[in-house]
Structure 1
């Protein structure tokens, strides 16, 4: 299905998403079927809009941090003086995939305490690999004739990096950032187990009270948020490619 066909659906989904965040009570008839007895159908212990904003801010901060670290390492190992660091860099960025986020939380809580800190560390580590690998591949496959032409025109190594290599690699780098961001949207939910303010709070509350309406709300909000983030970054990728 083409991107253009997705646009009306995405806009409709965005409108429903925003409407639910700011007036969740209007959707009570849809969720009451999943709440037992007199249990509330809509999560009201905290503002869903506020939780979504906190969730998104955590994801943005983690993805931005992962991007800076991964891009630094990718640029380093694609320079002649840093090529020897490639195995070490790959080991570093693979840590997040080797250790599950829950394990990272368990290790970080005694040091950083409860809250957003341990969750942020887990998301940063978990988001490094896709950005690094995409950036490494893109920078390693810049056509040599283009680089040679830039060198022949008198550009310094720094100028070639910023004005030639990174612009050509940008679409692939953005693809890695998109994958990392979508992963972070889903993974951030576990942060609520260590008192981080995320949409996982709604899911945890539903699990604790056996309220399937809460579980469904939290799951749907995270899924829609991940889809919208993916669509936004996909649109940015296409724009950069053009």
Structure 2
């Protein structure tokens, strides 16, 4: 567990670069389209998941892991059968945060040719049509709220 702070720091690097900057760097290498936005969203969405995974694992009662060790479980068995299931609600909360943030952030993919809900926003900006911008923004906001509500429905009550 000594490497956990390093993992957290590495994941933080993905959050320090704005998705627009990642796109600007990825497009010359990956070309226009969906792939650069996927790379940007993966980097941008990694931090909440990694942080919550680390917090969930660090929050496990040491007595529980000691009992699993006393039962003869290997490190891998303890992780899969004891630690990850106990940390799952906190991990799911990180995934929920990441997905919700990335739905809104994905709209910038329209700037590099990825067809998505950001298209009306870009069309509205290009054509000076505020109604298109609002339409795209409302659709993205509603989608993010719906997905967040679905996560809330399936997440255990104690971790909400």
TM bucket normalised to smaller? over 0.9
Cα distance in 2, alignment partners of residues 94 and 146 from structure 1:
29
Q: Normalising by structure 2, what TM-score?
A: 0.93
Other-structure match for 2:72? 154
1:53-64 superposed matches below 5 A: none
Moved over 6 A (4+): none
Other-structure match for 1:182? 100
Q: CA deviation at 1:125?
A: 0.6
Q: CA deviation at 1:86?
A: 3.6
1:137 aligns with 2:52: no
Q: Is the 8 A contact 1:115 1:194 kept in 2?
A: yes
Structure 1: gaps spanning 5 or more residues: 1-77
Other-structure match for 1:224? 142
CA deviation vs aligned residue, 1:180-201 (integer Å, no higher than 9, x gap): 0011000000000000011111
Q: Normalising by structure 1, what TM-score?
A: 0.63
1:194 aligns with 2:112: yes
Other-structure match for 1:48? none
1:85-164 superposed matches below 5 A: 85-164=3-82
Cα distance in 1, alignment partners of residues 16 and 74 from structure 2:
38
Q: Is the 8 A contact 1:170 1:240 kept in 2?
A: no
Cα distance in 1, alignment partners of residues 158 and 41 from structure 2:
26
How many residues align? The count is 159
Other-structure match for 1:53? none
Other-structure match for 1:209? 127
2:91 to 169, 173, 196: 173
Q: CA deviation at 1:89?
A: 2.1
2:153 to 235, 238, 241: 235
Q: Is the 8 A contact 1:105 1:119 kept in 2?
A: yes
Q: CA deviation at 1:87?
A: 4.4
Cα distance in 1, alignment partners of residues 102 and 132 from structure 2:
21
RMSD, aligned CA: 1.5
Cα distance in 2, alignment partners of residues 162 and 87 from structure 1:
21
Q: Is the 8 A contact 1:171 1:237 kept in 2?
A: yes
Give SS of 1:94's match. helix
The structure-2 alpha-carbon separation of the partners of 1:86 and 1:159, relative to structure 1 and needing over 3 Å to count, comes to: closer
